Structure 1
Amino acid sequence: MTERGVPLRRRVLVVIVGVTTLAVALFLVPLAVAVSLLYHDQTVAALQRDAAWVAAAVPDEPPTSLKLPTGLPGDLAVGGYSVAGARLFGNGPAHSPLAASSRDGRVHDAVEGGLLAVSAPVPSDEGVALVIRVATPNAQVEQRVREAWLLMGGLALVVIALAAGVAVRQSARLAAPLERLTAAAQALGGGDFSVRAFPSGVREADQAGRALESTAHRLGAVLSRERAFSADVSHQLRTGLTGLLLGLESALSRPGADLAQAIRGALGRGERLQEVIDDLVRLGRDTRAPVEPLDVTGLVDELRQEWHGPLAERGRRLTITVEPGLPPPTARPAAVRQILRVLLDNAVRHGAGEVTVTVADVGQGTAIEVSDHGTGVREGVDPFVRASGRSHGIGLALARSLAEAEGGRLVLSRARPPLFSLLLPGRDT
């Protein structure tokens, strides 16, 4: 599938150069017209001065021959004309409509025969009898105008080129962080959660980069927790299934074994395993809707019925104490049930003596403590860390992750004899 749309670099370049070109054009066209008029008016004013000077130097009566004053520019064509426009002396066309127009006693200018000419009347007592016509090549004026236009056009090109350079730099500055964000998003989609946001100087792009980096870190953490949770759940299910199979194999291998009792034991283990599966599936599908208060009394009664028999078979006692008037914590029963099953299974497998479960109020929450009289945890060992050769640590790691998912904590309050504390938040926490 091909990508559509104009790249940002090209779009910024086109916009900046286009706006600059339009602005230069809007400024340059009126300026070019003004320069053309300025040069024309300057030339006309100079010709008027020369014409007035010549007019002041000739007599009132129109002579047929007159020597012109010296000191005039060499490129000027100066002539004397009658009020009818006929040349009397000097240079110029034989008949000049421009000179004839000055019979009204005013100065006039026009382009005649490729020359920019000015006619000035010579006043006398009887009216206008002579007109002085002064002309210069109009090509010189046009040449000056063209040179000015070329200079302005060159300056306009320099301005547009500078704008294009700024546009290229600015487009790169704007597009680079977006391109990095695109690459980071593609890497994130490929499973790389080590996204880093680099400052670009563009506030919006930096905010998007920081948001993407934060999202990548959260997704990485969630995925890590999910993978760990899946591994812990797999271990928990394999442990129960292994116990069920070992019980059946032991009954089959012993002569005279009570097969009915073995089957009933396997059914009990299977029912508990089914409950574990149901709880874990329920926890995995839970959308974290508002949690109802936890019925602690009902939950500990389930634990008493489930674990009293296994402990009694080992000659050990289970004691459960619930503080009266306990405010109910807010947690999912399936999660708390699995946490306590892990703690009690750990006490049965690795502990000794009486197992005690105590539920007490701790201010803004509820504490459920599980302890026994075993040797406990060795110094410097974290029971919640998964390690080879310590399979019970996998179950405790699962229990801790479930507790954190409920907004609570599972801690080792005492190493020897072991005391694990499950801290659950209250309704207002």
Structure 2
Amino acid sequence: MESTPLRRRLLVAIAGIAAVTIMLFALPLGVAVQRLYRNEAVTELERDATVVAAATPDDVLSRPRSVRPPAGLRSGLDVGVYRTGGQRLAGSGPVGSALATHAADGRLHEAVEGVDLAVVAPVPSDQGVALAVRVSMPVDKVHDRVERAWLTMAGLAVAVLALAVGLARRQASRLATPLERLTQAAQALGEGDFSVRTRHSGIREADTAGVALEATGRRLGQMLDRERAFSADVSHQLRTPLTGLLLGLEGALQRPGADHSAALRTALERGRRLEEIIDDLLLLARDAGPERGPLDVAGLLADLEAQWHGRLAAEGRPLTVEAEEPLPEVAAAASAVQHILEVLVDNATRHGRGRITVLASDIGGALAIDVTDEGTGPLDAESVFERRSAGGEGHGIGLALARSLAEAEGGRLVLRGSAPTTFTLLLPGSASEAYT
């Protein structure tokens, strides 16, 4: 079922309300104007009839003669003197008037006779009321005056209605335009444009929806960028264990008398470890990893030492892992922290020299894990975390991945010093807020 556009609905509603309001006021006002003009005409006729009756001799009945209207009487009036029986004696007007018979009671009377609006006034005398003065005017004059007033009112009503329609169009546009812009922005957002911006309209609800839509667009854009970068980082990060697995198998095949069973067991172990890394990283990329719980820092450091001690010892690089008790309680995903530390130790192994030291400590209720080697270099605190291709200079994609993982856990990864090179992972304690 097709819905009605908001512009049309508002226009019809406002114009309809204006039309009904005008009708409710115009109809009673039209009736009142009609009565007002008729009453004004009757009042003027009564005044004229009273003036003529006062100037009419009361012996006209016994001595018939013409009666002249007094000076100053309005023009266009018919003035006649009638018996109380209704017969005309003098003046102008119909030969017989039923209205004149009512003057016998000594009071003024008015009525429409034929095409005239007439008023009769009794002529006072000592013998009682025997004569009446009839003053009349064409009733069409009153009707014409009423019709002109009605036409004026109708013109004003049309003007008011046109003004209401104009204001309704403007208001409908003012209300509908922000919604149409929101619709366009939502469509652009659905097509992948996460930089949508909405214009301020001055309408609180529309502006609030626009702000929410912009925030949603930014959040979706950041999430998509983070996921794309995360995917690139992960693919780069997995090459090292995969290369080690392949080299181990190739070396076992090429060495005469090699223990293939031991090589297969090592490859199988590395394959399982690689599978665990892939699963953990995919869960972290989707923000669907295991729920954050209390982090076992001691166990994490023990696993790190067991994993890297033998390899570094073979290269003549001592590894020292220490923890300054007591450590604050931290809620974080163990897999994420494990990957961060592996990246830092691997970075120290590849680009540093001498002893590698991993130190966990408490700094103001937060957990700080320092990874230090004895190397030095002109390292910039921010550019070191930029993503670079494997063949480029710098520290590759691993540090960028580690920083992304740290921020996802509400922490931070910083380069704290370059002589010696020290990277610090900061994780907020359970009682403190996340780093922003």
TM-score over 0.5 (shorter chain): yes
Aligned residue in 2 for 1:214: 215
Aligned residue in 2 for 1:48: 46
Matched, 1:276 2:274: no
What secondary structure is seen at the aligned counterpart in 2 of 1:78? strand
Q: Which runs of 5+ in 1 are unaligned?
A: none
CA contact (8 A) 1:115 1:136 kept: yes
Aligned residue in 1 for 2:25: 27
What secondary structure is seen at the aligned counterpart in 1 of 2:330? coil
CA contact (8 A) 2:328 2:365 kept: no
Structure 2 distance, partners of 1:281, 1:307, is: 24
Q: Sort the Cα spacing of 1:127 and 1:236 in 2 relative to 1 into closer, same or farther, 3 A.
A: same
What secondary structure is seen at the aligned counterpart in 2 of 1:133? strand
Aligned residue in 1 for 2:231: 230
Aligned residue in 1 for 2:189: 188
Q: CA deviation at 1:288?
A: 7.7
What secondary structure is seen at the aligned counterpart in 2 of 1:393? coil
Give the residue type in structure 2 aligned to 1:418: T
What secondary structure is seen at the aligned counterpart in 2 of 1:5? coil
Give the residue type in structure 1 aligned to 2:89: L
Aligned residue in 2 for 1:69: 69
Aligned residue in 1 for 2:83: 82
Q: CA deviation at 1:260?
A: 3.6
Which segment drifts farther, 369-378 or 344-353?
A: 369-378
Matched, 1:167 2:168: yes
Q: How does 1:237-252 map to 2 (within 5 A)?
A: 237-252=238-253
Which segment drifts farther, 403-412 or 69-78?
A: 69-78
Of 390, 395, 398, 1:395 maps to 398
What secondary structure is seen at the aligned counterpart in 1 of 2:80? strand
Aligned residue in 2 for 1:370: 371
Which segment drifts farther, 197-206 or 376-385?
A: 376-385
What secondary structure is seen at the aligned counterpart in 1 of 2:53? helix
The structure 1 segments of at least 4 consecutive aligned residues displaced by more than 6 Å after TM superposition are none
Q: CA deviation at 1:381?
A: 7.5
What secondary structure is seen at the aligned counterpart in 1 of 2:298? helix
Which segment drifts farther, 314-323 or 128-137?
A: 314-323
CA contact (8 A) 2:55 2:70 kept: no
Matched, 1:302 2:303: yes
Q: CA deviation at 1:315?
A: 2.4
Identity between Structure 1 and Structure 2 (%) = 58
Q: CA deviation at 1:199?
A: 1.6
CA contact (8 A) 1:20 1:160 kept: yes
Structure 2 distance, partners of 1:302, 1:214, is: 41
Which segment drifts farther, 203-212 or 149-158?
A: 203-212
Q: CA deviation at 1:84?
A: 1.1
Of 415, 421, 426, 2:418 maps to 415
CA contact (8 A) 2:69 2:79 kept: no
What secondary structure is seen at the aligned counterpart in 2 of 1:66? coil
CA contact (8 A) 2:381 2:415 kept: no
Structure 2 distance, partners of 1:404, 1:129, is: 115
Which segment drifts farther, 187-196 or 276-285?
A: 276-285
Which segment drifts farther, 5-14 or 397-406?
A: 5-14
What secondary structure is seen at the aligned counterpart in 2 of 1:126? coil
CA contact (8 A) 1:282 1:334 kept: no
Structure 1 distance, partners of 2:307, 2:286, is: 25
Q: Sort the Cα spacing of 1:420 and 1:266 in 2 relative to 1 into closer, same or farther, 3 A.
A: same
- 1:248-270 Cα offsets, whole Å, 9 max, x none, are 22332344444344333323322
Structure 2 distance, partners of 1:274, 1:351, is: 28
Aligned alpha-carbon RMSD (Å): 2.1
Q: CA deviation at 1:286?
A: 5.1
Structure 2 distance, partners of 1:259, 1:416, is: 45
Aligned length: 427
Which segment drifts farther, 382-391 or 406-415?
A: 382-391
Aligned residue in 1 for 2:350: 349
Aligned residue in 2 for 1:406: 409
Q: CA deviation at 1:409?
A: 0.8
Give the residue type in structure 1 aligned to 2:383: D
Q: Sort the Cα spacing of 1:19 and 1:207 in 2 relative to 1 into closer, same or farther, 3 A.
A: same
> What TM-score results when the alignment is normalised by the length of structure 2?
0.92
CA contact (8 A) 1:47 1:118 kept: yes
CA contact (8 A) 1:377 1:418 kept: no
Q: Sort the Cα spacing of 1:278 and 1:379 in 2 relative to 1 into closer, same or farther, 3 A.
A: closer
What secondary structure is seen at the aligned counterpart in 2 of 1:88? strand
